[in-house]
């Protein structure tokens, strides 16, 4: 008797990439992912599918390799138009941001990781596909109230420590100071009425 993994692996030998993506989106629906998340996966995986079709590569799941993922990432990095195929933004000239490329890599890796866990692959072909760092300097405020983008610049220019709390807007403090607490409000059915 054959195991489920060997049956799925033999199915994966015959399955094409489009069917795999449809199975994955169906799985995401069953898992209770939101419509926005499903749309996010469909856009990114659909773009990968178009890339595979346009490159003339075999569409069988068994033929997808690490080199295909790397070529797709290089194609995204070399793209000269932002917002292509976006439902609300107009396409403009410029490179895609590293966050956009990172999202595409995440979607592809999620697909192949799921396929590996389901037994469609003997090993995950995109497990070592590089993921771009999503970390960027968090904005902090200097003592003068100007926005800074790097902790090192603030520490060097204002002689403050990186872990100090940001300066808050003075108007917000005034509004909070004049807001009455629950203890200061009159209580009871006749509260606020003139005696």
Q: CATH code at 10? A: 1.10.150
Contact 107, 44 (CB under 8 A): yes
Is 193 within the bounds of a domain?
no
Last residue of a domain, one of 62, 83, 118: 118
| 105 and 28 in a common domain | yes
Number of folded domains that form the chain: 2
3-state secondary structure (DSSP) of residue 93: strand
Per-residue pLDDT at 156 = 46
H-type alpha helices, the chain = 4-14, 17-30, 35-54, 66-77, 98-118, 151-158, 170-178
Of 132, 131, 126, 133, which is closest to residue 67 (Cα–Cα)?
A: 126
Is 155 within the bounds of a domain?
yes
Rounded Cα distance between 65 and 103, Å, is: 19
Question: Is residue 25 over pLDDT 70?
Answer: yes
Contact 91, 83 (CB under 8 A): yes
Confidence of residue 10 (pLDDT cuts 50, 70, 90): low
What are the pLDDT digits (tens) for 49-105? 999 999 888 888 888 889 999 999 999 888 888 877 777 888 888 888 888 889 999
| 158 and 110 in a common domain | no
Per-residue pLDDT at 155 = 44
User: Quick one: what percent of the chain has pLDDT higher than 70?
Assistant: 61
Is 55 within the bounds of a domain?
yes
Of 90, 108, 116, 91, which is closest to residue 44 (Cα–Cα)?
A: 108
Contact 98, 132 (CB under 8 A): yes
Name the pTM for this structure. Answer: 0.61
Rounded Cα distance between 7 and 12, Å, is: 9
Rounded Cα distance between 37 and 63, Å, is: 27
Number of neighbours of residue 128 by Cβ within 10 angstroms:
11
What are the pLDDT digits (tens) for 133-150? 655 444 444 445 555 454
Residue 52 is part of which domain span? 4-118
Return the bridge partners of 147, or none.
141
Average pLDDT of the chain is: 75
């Amino acid at each position: 008797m054959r195991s489920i993994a060997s049956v799925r692996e033999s199915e994966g030998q015959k399955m094409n990439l489009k069917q795999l993506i449809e199975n994955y989106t169906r799985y995401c629906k069953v898992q209770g992912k939101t419509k926005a998340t499903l749309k996010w996966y469909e856009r990114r995986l659909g773009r990968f599918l178009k890339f595979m079709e346009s490159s003339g590569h075999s569409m069988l799941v068994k033929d997808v390799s690490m080199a295909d993922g790397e070529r797709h990432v290089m194609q995204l990095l070399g793209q000269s138009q932002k917002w292509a195929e976006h439902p609300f933004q107009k396409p403009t000239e410029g490179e895609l941001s590293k966050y956009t490329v990172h999202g595409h890599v995440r979607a592809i890796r999620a697909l192949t990781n799921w396929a590996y866990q389901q037994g469609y692959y003997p090993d995950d072909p995109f497990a070592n596909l590089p993921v771009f760092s999503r970390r960027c300097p968090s904005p902090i405020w200097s003592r003068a109230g100007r926005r800074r983008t790097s902790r090192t610049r603030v520490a060097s220019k204002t002689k403050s420590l990186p872990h100090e709390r940001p300066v808050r807007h003075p108007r917000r403090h005034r509004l909070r100071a004049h807001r009455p607490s629950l203890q200061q409000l009159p209580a009871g059915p006749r509260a606020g009425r003139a005696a």
